[in-house]
């Protein structure tokens, strides 16, 4: 029987409905409208589309958004200054810098300048360390989205064999850490892995984020596996595909995500989730402050 197709668009809609309820509650109970600030440097065409989608998605769930556009030859000092101002802004609960950024500006400097309380992309070293230690304030959006998809489908992770193909800082590595936290047995593969198939074939759950169309063929997948395709590749004929031979692998797997319509819609959704969670944390802290002051003065 062909695999069940995991409908990321539908699950994203369900998660967004919960987020919308939370933004309403924040406004009603605390007078807070969650806010996201997006810094964009240069005019990378893909980034323009991603940022537009993020702005639309924010509006859809009651989050206000501001985009700060800088030309590609802006100085690093100017960007860091903008981030520091946003760190202090009461109406901003999440800050992200749309990657990639032009050479000459250090991603590391940017990430370490964003307040850990507003690091909704989850790329600050503090959040990365949190993932390693077992908990992060803001898990990075794409692996977090994959985790949510698995959760919504009721797919158990404890004790299962998971293979993650791709070991980038934004997808593969945090994904592996999050799955380890769920007590899965995790193998991580990358471009230098010899005989990729020997790792993919043992996977109960296979997560692929390499950026290589048709990397995963049916003979590399175990019958009944769960296959999550994070890859997004534009073919010369204009088609958008993942890293998995979708038609072939779906005959063998138990579950599979399509591209588009699988992990993609979840990534933006988890950014909204992190932004609302940040506003809730800040509201809770503000709510606690007077009680603490009273106790301290009493």
Binding region for ligand NAD (CB under 6 A): 142, 165-168, 170-172, 189-191, 193, 196, 209-212, 215, 230-233, 263-264, 267
Catalytic-labelled residue, pool 98, 119, 148, 245: 98
Between 5 and 80, whose beta carbon lies closer to ligand NAD? 5
For the stretch 22-52, what's the b/e string if a residue is b when 16 or more beta carbons lie within 10 angstroms of its beta carbon?
bbeebeeeeebebbbbbbbbbebeebeebbe
233 pairs with which residues across the strands? 241
**Least distance in angstroms from the C-beta of 227 to ligand NAD:** 14
Asked if 98 is an active-site residue, the reply is yes
Residue whose CB is less far from ligand NAD, 130 or 166: 166
Half-sphere exposure of 74 (CA within 13 A, CB side): 20
Distance CA 114, CA 82 (A): 10
Alpha-helical (H) ranges within the chain are 8-30, 45-61, 76-88, 107-113, 125-133, 141-152, 172-181, 196-200, 246-249, 264-297
Residue 28 or residue 192: which is nearer to ligand NAD going by CB? 192
Nearer to ligand NAD, 126 or 199 (CB): 199
Among candidate residues 117, 121, 229, 243, the one labeled active-site is 121
186 or 215: CB nearest ligand NAD: 215
**Shortest distance in whole angstroms from residue 239 CB to ligand NAD:** 14
Write out the two tokens for 252: 């063998």
Note if 195 is an active site residue: no
Query: Least distance to ligand NAD from the beta carbon of 86, Å?
Result: 23
Quote the least distance from Cβ 213 to ligand NAD, whole Å. 9
- The least distance separating ligand NAD from the CB of residue 198, rounded to whole angstroms, comes to 12
Count of CB atoms within 10 A of residue 88's CB?
A: 8
Residue whose CB is less far from ligand NAD, 46 or 133: 46
DSSP 58-87: HHHHT-EEEEEEE-TT--HHHHHHHHHHHH
Taking the complex as a whole, how short is the minimal distance between the CB of residue 214 and ligand NAD, in angstroms? Answer: 10
Torsion sign, CA atoms 237, 241, 244, 248: negative
Determine the 3-state secondary structure of 173 from DSSP.
helix
The answer to whether 257 and 227 have CB atoms below 8 angstroms apart is yes
Given the residues 54, 118, 148, 252, the one annotated as active site:
54
User: Buried (b) or exposed (e) across 258-297, using 16+ Cβ within 10 A?
Assistant: bbebbbbbbbbbbbbbbbbbbbbebbeeeeeeeeeeeeee
Residue 286: both structure tokens together = 């503000």
Positions marked active-site: 54, 98, 121
């Amino acid at each position: 029987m062909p695999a069940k197709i995991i409908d990321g668009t539908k699950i994203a809609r369900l998660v967004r409905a919960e987020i919308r309820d939370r933004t309403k509650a924040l406004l009603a109970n605390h007078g807070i409208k969650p806010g996201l600030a997006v810094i964009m440097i240069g005019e990378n065409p893909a980034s323009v589309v991603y940022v537009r989608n993020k702005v639309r998605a924010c509006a859809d769930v009651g989050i206000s958004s501001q985009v700060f556009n800088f030309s590609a030859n802006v100085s690093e000092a100017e960007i860091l200054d903008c981030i520091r101002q946003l760190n202090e802004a009461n109406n901003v609960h999440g800050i992200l810098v749309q990657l990639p950024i032009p050479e000459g500006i250090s991603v590391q400097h940017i990430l370490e300048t964003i307040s850990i309380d507003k690091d909704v992309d989850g790329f600050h070293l503090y959040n990365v360390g949190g993932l390693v230690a077992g908990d992060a304030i803001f898990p990075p959006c794409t692996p977090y989205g994959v985790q949510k998809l698995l959760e919504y489908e009721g797919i158990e992770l404890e004790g299962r064999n998971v293979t993650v193909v791709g070991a980038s800082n934004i997808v593969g590595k945090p994904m592996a850490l999050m799955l380890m936290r769920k007590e899965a047995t995790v193998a991580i593969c990358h471009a230098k892995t010899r005989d990729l198939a020997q790792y993919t074939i043992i996977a109960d759950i296979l997560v692929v984020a390499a950026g290589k169309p048709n990397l995963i063929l049916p003979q590399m997948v175990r019958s009944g596996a769960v296959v999550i395709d994070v890859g997004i590749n534009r073919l010369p004929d204009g088609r958008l595909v993942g890293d998995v031979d979708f038609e072939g692998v779906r005959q063998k797997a138990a579950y599979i995500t399509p591209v588009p319509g699988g992990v993609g819609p979840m990534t933006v959704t988890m950014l909204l989730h992190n932004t609302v969670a940040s506003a809730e944390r800040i509201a809770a802290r503000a709510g606690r402050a007077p009680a603490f002051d009273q106790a301290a003065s009493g």
